[in-house]
Amino acid sequence: MKKANNKTERFGMRVEPEFWQIIDDWRRNQSEIPTRASAVRSLIIAGLSGQERINGLITVVEKLRFRGKLPEDIEEEVKYVHLKAIIKEDAFHSLMGIVKPGEIIRDRVKRISEIGYTFTSKEINDAIVSSVEIKDKIAHNKSQPK
C-alpha cells in the first residue's frame, strides 16, 4: 500500500519453498497472473478485510446467542464452521513449520470454549487428524512433478 507521499518501503522476509508454492498456485488461478509481491499484498488485504467481516459476523451471532434468539441448529452449524476454519489454519501453519500439528486447534478450541461452545475430546482429535490429512495432502501435491 502506498503512503500519502507516494513513497513505498521495502520489506523482506524469508519463507519456506512450500510457502511460495502456495502463493504461486494462487497466482496461476487469477485471470492475469500477478507478481509475487502483488499476490502477497492482495492476499494480506483480503485476509485482513475477511477477518474483519468474520469478526463482525461472530459478534452478531454471539449477541443473538446471548439473547437466546439463535436457533439451536444454527448454533451447531456456527460451532462447526468455526472448527473447519481452525482446522485449515492449523494445517497451513503446521505445513509451514510454524507450529506442531494440533497446536492451533487446541488453542482456538480453548478460546471458543470460553464463549460457551463445547467440543468433545473426539471432536478435537478428529479435527487434529483432519488438519494432518490436509497438511499431508498439500505436501504430497507439492512434491509431485508438474
pLDDT in tens, 26-38: 898 888 999 998 9
Least confident of 7-11, 43-47, 56-60: 56-60
Residue 116 lies in a domain: yes
Q: What is the mean pLDDT of residues 134-141?
A: 75
Q: How many domains is the chain partitioned into structurally?
A: 2
Regarding whether 65 and 52 lie in a shared domain, the answer is: yes
**Range of 102's domain?**
71-146
Regarding whether 76 and 59 lie in a shared domain, the answer is: no
Inter-residue contact 141 to 22 (CB < 8 Å): no
Residue 108 lies in a domain: yes
Inter-residue contact 41 to 1 (CB < 8 Å): yes
Q: Which of 70, 92, 117 is the last residue of a domain?
A: 70
Q: What is the pTM of this model?
A: 0.52
Regarding whether 116 and 59 lie in a shared domain, the answer is: no
Confidence of residue 5 (pLDDT cuts 50, 70, 90): low
